[in-house]
Amino acid sequence: MFEDIKKEFPILSQTVHNRQLVYLDSAASTQKPECVINAVDNYYKTLNSNVHRGIHTLSQKATDIYEEARLKIQNFIHAKHSREIIFTRGTTEAINLVASSYGKLCLKQGDEIILSQMEHHSNIVPWQLVAEQYGAVIKVIPISQTGDMRLDEYKKLFSEKTKIAAFTHASNVLGTINPIKEMIAIAHQNHVPVLVDGAQGIKAEQVDVQDLDCDFYCFSGHKIYAPMGIGILYGKEEWLDKLPPYQGGGDMIEQVRFEQTIFNQLPFKFEAGTPNVGGAIGLMAAVDFIADCGLENMIAHEKQLLTYALEQMQTFENMRIIGNPASRTAVISFLLGNAHPSDVGTLIDFEGIALRTGHHCAQPLMDFLQISGTVRASFAVYNTKEDVDMLVNGLKKVGKMLG
C-alpha cells in the first residue's frame, strides 16, 4: 500500500555517485516527508515567536500550536496527562534528565542500577556518571547468543539496594524487541521504577505508556520522520513532581528571588530556556503522518521488507547475520566475509546505497559479540523490495571487490 509514498520524501529523489539513492539508514535517522518539512517551514514563515512569554498575537499563536503538539504526543503514547510530556532535545537528553534528577533525589552509596548488555551508550553513560557521583553500582542484564534478553538472569539482579532499572525497548544493533511490559512488571514487583529507552521501539510497536506501566519513556523525533533536535520524556506525574529540576533558567520558574526560587508547575519545571518550537511542530506533523499511514500498516510493511531481505542475504556464503532474536524490528546487522565494515560501507556508497557501519554506539554489546562493529541496514516506510534487490546486488558486487 506504500508503493508511491517515496514521492512524499523529497530527499529520496536525488542521486548519489550518479546512482539513485537507496536510503537504508533509518535506524540512525529517518528522512522527512513533505508534510513535516512544510509544517516547520510554515512556522518560521508565519508564526516564529517565543512561547509562554508574550501577549502579542504571534506569541499566543505559537504557544497554542506548541501546546497542541504536546497534546498530540500525549495521545500518541496514551499518557494520562499532557503535563507528563516533557519536550527535550532527544532520547539522550531525556535519559540524562532522569538520571541526573533521579540520582540527586534517590541514589546513595552502594545503591544499584540495572541496565542491559544491549544498551546504546546513551542509556549507559548517564547512569555511569550518576553512579560515580553517588557511589552507586551498575548491574547488567546478560543476553543470549540469539540476542534476546535473559529474563531468568534479570530477575536475579534485584535486591534491596536496587533503585532503578533502565533498558531499551528495541536494540539498535540486533533489532531485538524486548518484552518490556513483562520486564517492567518484574521491576515493580521488586518496588523498582523503570526507564525505557524508546528510541528504536517507538516505531516498532504501538506504545501505550499506561498499559506498559513504565515510570519513564524516552524517544527522539528524528527516528519517526520528525526533525532532529526534538524529543520526548514521558514521566508519571508522581515521579515528575518529586524529581528536582534538571536545568535552571527561564520558563521553569514560578518566581525568582536571590534568596529563593519557586519552580514552575509541570511540565514547564523541566523545560528551561527557549524551546524548539519548530521541532515540536514538526514532531506533531510526523505523528499526523504516522496516523494517516497507520502505524500497524507501517510496521507490517517494514517487517515484509525485513523478511525479504533476510531471505536474500542468507543465500550469501560469506554473510554473517548478527543476532536472531525472537522478535525484531526492521534492522539487519551483518558482516561480509572478513571485510571491515567501513570498507563495505564505503564501497556500497558508490552504488548509491546508504548503510551504517561501526559499533553503533553499543561497544559493550560488540564486546559480548566479540566483534569490533557491523554493517547495518535498516528499513522504513519509504523503502521497497526494489531497494532490497539493489542492496543485495550491491553487496554481491562489493563482496567480489573485497575478495
- The residues annotated as belonging to the active site are 361
Distance CA 197, CA 364 (A): 17
Distance CA 94, CA 316 (A): 41
Q: Which three cell numbers stand for residue 400?
A: 567480489
Distance CA 232, CA 267 (A): 11
CA torsion through residues 115, 116, 121, 122, sign:
negative
In angstroms, the Cα distances linking 248 to 104, 164, 220, 253 are 15, 25, 22, 8
- 136 burial (CB, 10 Å; 0-12 / 13-18 / 19+) is buried
Distance CA 351, CA 80 (A): 48
Do 222 and 29 contact (CB within 8 A), yes or no?
yes
Task: Give the strand order in the sheet containing 194-197.
Answer: 85-88, 231-235, 216-220, 194-197, 162-168, 112-116, 137-141
Helices (H) and strands (E) in the chain, counts: 13, 17
The gap from C-alpha 392 to its chain's centroid, in whole angstroms, comes to: 27
In angstroms, the Cα distances linking 41 to 14, 34, 44, 52, 129 are 21, 10, 5, 21, 38
Distance CA 363, CA 190 (A): 29
Distance CA 202, CA 220 (A): 9
